[in-house]
Structure 1
């Protein structure tokens, strides 16, 4: 996430700007637009579709996601307490990781995952990460996959899940 926030991902347009000779600077997922961080992680049809599934899963229908900074600085009015915001941030990080991983699979000639598979992976990996890394957090799987905002997060203010 640090690399994303500092614009340090090896995105094609950035590599091209540094003089690295590439066959194309188009997005390897959609092959339609120039690949920038915002395009790869948010605006590409595949990424946008995945973010839409994540938003619906969290019941955040009105959360605008126009750029990656919208996600990175996300403080949804629907997630009022600090622990819920930290859990949402973990979901953002896991989703970003899977979008990037899928993009790399396509770019390096491997099979990409479908959106439903990626979404399932996001649900399970974020559940795993939060349960393992978050002190005083216990999520119930069925509640997590059906209505994550209704999970009870017993997170003390000094604790984190990072």
Structure 2
């Protein structure tokens, strides 16, 4: 089934590698209990997954591991969008993007070229006070903060927002397919703000983050 193919995309069971012990999360993928890029790469290699691209993928510490993994796979074009499902021999009723319906779906189109996603990015750009956000590939999204003269905390927060935006767009895409939910640019944007606030607020150690500051992107 199409839904089974999507749900099995992350065939490494990340949740099984996490445990809450003694008031903190412990990573079971390493004997030390500490998460490391080396350990996650080793697990992916054992599962037959490909290694990351030649340039260094910068994992964002302010968002959950599952979102970093999603972005890692998106950069490698290994997310179960329609174009990839067709390549795997999975039958689909359509290959058109479920959010705009005007072009064949690929991860590049979904996150950077889709008219729906472009409208979302426009709202995000206004929120974080960046003149525009035009991306031509997933790599452009991942590396966007590299070219901005930002203080480190602001850079990390912006990276978290970019990754969260991609993740929420992906979830909206799945809702449109599996639950036939009518998609909404404003709802997606509001979800991005609230979800990223929760993730960043719980992980940012340098300062206490208020909703008022986050809503105005005052870092």
TM-score (norm. length: structure 1) = 0.84
Work out which of the residue numbers 133, 138, 163 in structure 2 matches 1:93. 163
Gaps in structure 1 of 5+ consecutive residues: 152-162
Q: 1-side partners of 2:171 and 2:181: how far apart?
A: 11
Q: 1-side partners of 2:139 and 2:208: how far apart?
A: 29
Q: 1:119 to 1:62 in 2, by over 3 A?
A: closer
Q: 1-side partners of 2:94 and 2:200: how far apart?
A: 38
Q: 1:81 to 1:115 in 2, by over 3 A?
A: same
Please report how far the alpha carbon of residue 76 of structure 1 lies from its aligned counterpart in structure 2 after TM superposition: 5.7
1:43-92 per-position Cα deviation (integer Å, ceiling 9, x unaligned): 11111100110011111114432322211111265442222111111101
The answer to whether the Cα contact below 8 Å between 1:60 and 1:78 also exists between their aligned partners in 2 is no
Q: State the superposition RMSD in angstroms.
A: 1.7
Q: 1:62 to 1:121 in 2, by over 3 A?
A: closer
The answer to whether the Cα contact below 8 Å between 1:102 and 1:112 also exists between their aligned partners in 2 is no
Work out which of the residue numbers 61, 75, 91 in structure 1 matches 2:131. 61
Q: Find the counterpart in structure 2 of residue 130 from structure 1.
A: 200
Q: 2-side partners of 1:92 and 1:5: how far apart?
A: 14
Q: Find the counterpart in structure 1 of residue 188 from structure 2.
A: 118
SS of 1:75's equivalent in the other structure is helix
SS of 1:98's equivalent in the other structure is helix
Q: Find the counterpart in structure 2 of residue 75 from structure 1.
A: 145
1:95-145 per-position Cα deviation (integer Å, ceiling 9, x unaligned): 111100111111113313411111111111111111112222322211211
* Larger displacement relative to structure 2 (41-50 or 108-117): 108-117
TM-score (norm. length: structure 2) = 0.63
The answer to whether the Cα contact below 8 Å between 1:63 and 1:76 also exists between their aligned partners in 2 is no
